[in-house]
Amino acid sequence: MIELTRVYHFSAAHRLESPMLSAEENARRYGPCFRPHGHNYYLEVTMRGEPDPVTGMVIDIGRVDDVVSATVLDHVDHRTLEEVPRLGGVITTGESLARAFWDLLAPALRPGTLARVAVVETAKNRFEYAGEDR
Amino acid sequence: MIAYSTRRFTFAAGHRYTVDAWPAEKNERVFGRLAVPHGHNYTLDVTVRGPIDAETGMVIDLSEVKAVVSETVVERFDHADLNADPAFRGRVPTTENIAVVVWELLAPKLGGERLWQVRVWEDPTLFVDYRGPGR
């Protein structure tokens, strides 16, 4: 089994705020992340499969690029994540973004081919999600 | 106690995507720009796995990994035309197949049990992982 990972980039603004907490509790819980700020995010999309015996390719990378752009990047790059309709209700922590991006990408890709989604928020923070059962 | 040690290597190589059995038009249609000869600065991460030796504190002497990978892979593929290498006869030198070939070259020398993963970076935006047949 081969795993192929493509690294994408987007820049976005966000702030962490839970609708279930008061303003004071949010400020205390999230600290500086409660204030509007932004990141240069990296999104790593890992596909899995066996290389085609003729072409040597697990997947058409160009098609994955198109799907990731149309499904995620075009909606989040240079946006405020809290205002992105397809992220409605998501508290935009790295881990919740990883799961939200997985939920958007998995149905748009051939079933069983998406292995993992990683959101790299900063050089220090990395979040991975590999589906509900993993 | 199992630990994983990774050593990084680089090599620059030329390649093109082409299936010999296909006419030129089909290769161009399927592979596009990749059908034209070009090259990459590849990065290779070799990960070995095993218990930490009680005496040396090491999973493996990484200088041994360095010597084996340099001799077996880097010297062979650095500044080489991958399509001309017998390892890619009948195999398109995609990043996927490069990872498989590197695994096949290293496993007999490092041992299939100790060799855990081969990661080949074509550029900073694309890498492929291979952990051997059935894994």
pLDDT over 90 (residue B79): yes
Half-sphere exposure of B82 (CA within 13 A, CB side): 30
Cα angle A93, A128, A8; round to 5:
85
- Residues of chain A contacting B31 with CB distance shorter than 8 Å: 55
Residue A20 — φ and ψ, nearest 5°?
-90, 0
Percent of chain A with pLDDT over 90: 98
Task: Tell me how far apart the terminal alpha carbons of chain B are, to the nearest angstrom.
Answer: 21
What's the pLDDT score for residue B44? 98
CB contact under 8 A, A7 and B128: no
pLDDT digits (tens, 9 = 90+) for B83-109: 999 999 999 999 999 999 999 999 999
Considering the domain boundaries, does residue B47 fall inside one? yes
For chain B, the domain total comes to 1
Q: Tell me if chain A has a CB within 8 Å of the CB of B126.
A: yes
| pLDDT of amino acid B101 | 98
The structure's pTM equals 0.89
Q: Are A2 and B100 in contact (CB under 8 A)?
A: yes
Could you tell me the two tokens for A57? Answer: 């390719």
Would you say residue B117 lies in a domain?
yes
| Gyration radius of chain B's alpha carbons | 16
Look at residue B135 and tell me if it is in a domain: no
**pLDDT per position as a tens digit, B34-49:** 999 999 999 999 999 9
Domain positions in chain A are: 2-129
**CATH no. for residue B11?**
3.30.479.10
Residue A134 above 80 pLDDT? Answer: no
What is residue A79's predicted lDDT score, i.e. its pLDDT?
A: 97
CATH class of A2-129: alpha beta
Which of B28, B94, B131 to substitute to test the interface with A, most A CBs within 10 Å? B94
Find the DSSP H helices in chain A: 23-30, 61-68, 74-76, 94-105
Residue B71: its pLDDT value, please? Answer: 98
Give the structural domain span for B65.
Answer: 2-130
Q: What is the pLDDT of residues A10-50, one digit of tens each?
A: 999 999 999 999 999 999 999 999 999 999 999 999 999 99
Q: A-chain residues within 8 Å CB-CB of B135?
A: 1
